Amino acid sequence: MSDRKLLNIELGRMSAEEYKKAPKSGLAVVLDNVRSAHNVGSAFRSCDAFKVDRLYLCGICATPPSAEIHKSAIGAEFSVDWVHHQDTMDAVKELKSQGYTIISVEQTINAVSLDAFSPSPDKKYAVIFGNEVSGVSQEVVDASDFALEIPQYGTKHSLNVSVSVGIVLWALHRKI
């Protein structure tokens, strides 16, 4: 097979300014005490790819400007709207007041499998991803409308948070 990779200029991507003005997806992402700036940067990049409304960086999350965030975000920190809240519950309350359905991406007793979830195209969803070791805090899980779980079939019990953000956003985006 002979195939030529496209050059960046051939991709027809919009500028950060155009992106900020473009219609968004109806999805928001919340990072609950994600400690790695590289994971935060990767989340920015996934949020850009799927036109997320806003990224909420909560607690100990690094915030731009940051060389570590920029290394993995490769500029998405300039296109994606973001806000920092010291307490994740403040972000949850803000999003609820804006009409978002709150979803913790977590393994819980009653979690809905991502492959079985059917989002409504007329609803807005905020998906919350947790700390690399302890996950989404129980207080935030309790305040959520429900939990969503990524099916896994190997021996490990979790995925890297940046990988989880990409998987969930892709799955929701294609279903909406």
pLDDT at position 29? 98
Number of domains in the chain: 1
pLDDT at position 43? 98
Looking at the domain assignment, is residue 114 inside a domain?
yes
Burial code (b: 16+ CB inside 10 Å, e: under 16) for 70-87 equals: bebbeebbbbbebeebee
Residue among 66, 22, 21 at smallest CA distance from 44: 66
Looking at the domain assignment, is residue 4 inside a domain?
no
What whole-number percentage of the chain has pLDDT above 90? 93
Supply the pTM of this predicted model: 0.96
In this structure, the dihedral spanned by the alpha carbons of residues 23, 27, 28 and 30, taken in order and rounded to 10 degrees, is -150
Give the mean pLDDT of the chain.
96
Looking at the domain assignment, is residue 17 inside a domain?
no
What's the pLDDT band for 109 if we cut at 50, 70, 90? very high
Looking at the domain assignment, is residue 3 inside a domain?
no
Give the mean pLDDT of 35-42. 98
Helices 161-175 & 37-49 angle (0-180, nearest 10): 10
3-state secondary structure of 29: strand
Looking at the domain assignment, is residue 76 inside a domain?
yes
pLDDT at position 63? 98
Asked whether residue 162 carries a pLDDT value surpassing 90, the answer given is yes
Range of the domain at 101: 23-175
pLDDT at position 173? 94
The answer to whether 36 and 63 are in contact (CB under 8 A) is no
Give the mean pLDDT of 71-84. 97
Quote the CA–CA distance of 78 and 127 in Å, as a whole number. Answer: 21
Looking at the domain assignment, is residue 60 inside a domain?
yes
CA distances from 81 to 52, 58, 114, 124, 167 (A): 8, 14, 26, 16, 20
Give the mean pLDDT of 13-30. 93
Cα-Cα end-to-end distance for the chain = 34
CATH of the domain at 169: 3.40.1280.10
Looking at the domain assignment, is residue 92 inside a domain?
yes
Looking at the domain assignment, is residue 135 inside a domain?
yes
Q: How many Cβ atoms are within 10 Å of 37's Cβ, its own excluded?
A: 20
pLDDT, tens only, 123-145: 999 999 999 999 999 999 999 99
**What is the secondary structure of 34-71 as a DSSP string?**
---HHHHHHHHHHHHHTT-SEEEEETT---SS-HHHHH
